[in-house]
Amino acid sequence: MAQNFFVDELEITSPAFDNHGRIPDKHTSNGENVSPPLEWSGVPEGTVAFAVVCHDPDAPLVDGWTHWVAYGIPGDATGLPEGAADLVEGPHTGGEDGYSGPAPPPGHGKHHYYFWVYALNEEPDLEPGLSRRELLEAIEDSVIEQARIIGTYDN
């Protein structure tokens, strides 16, 4: 029996940085701290909603650092604009809802920021304020494809 790894045609990109490229200061806590624009294509048939997560596994914490949790994005969306607003969001690791840009500890080296987009075949009834782990648990059975772009940043 074949295992579905949720990878097919869905692709996420950003006009602000290349995959594995440096995230511009504007999108970090050293700059304007606004979320970068994201674009996706190759959306699978049956997509009714999207969720987006940004996570830094290089942060010196047991579970890394979550920078953004956004969901309830309509299935006909083709991305999110810079500084996206009016989203259903959950808390970043710092405890506040919304985007929190890269800010690795000084001297800690280059960190990798994984921007994930999840295409969902149903829109679960999700309340605002879900953490990354809560969101991923809630959507696990609804994900039909996922894709990521990785940005880097260091101080």
Summarize the confidence of residues 73-78 as an average pLDDT.
Answer: 96
Count of CB atoms within 10 A of residue 63's CB? 11
Instruction: Please state, rounded to an integer, the average pLDDT across all residues of the chain.
Output: 93
DSSP 132: H
What pLDDT is stored for residue 79 in this prediction?
A: 98
Residue 95: give its domain's CATH number: 3.90.280.10
Give a yes or no: residue 69 inside a domain: yes
Give a yes or no: residue 2 inside a domain: no
Give a yes or no: residue 91 inside a domain: yes
Q: What 3-state DSSP class applies to 69?
A: strand
What pLDDT is stored for residue 4 in this prediction?
A: 47
**113: Cβ–Cβ under 8 A, 6 or more apart, which residues?**
23, 54, 55, 56, 67, 102, 150, 151, 152, 153
> Domain count of the chain?
1
Q: What are the tens digits of pLDDT across the range 97-109? A: 999 999 998 888 9
Q: Is the pTM of this model over 0.85?
A: yes
Summarize the confidence of residues 16-22 as an average pLDDT.
Answer: 97
* Residue 110 half-sphere exposure toward CB, CA atoms < 13 A: 8
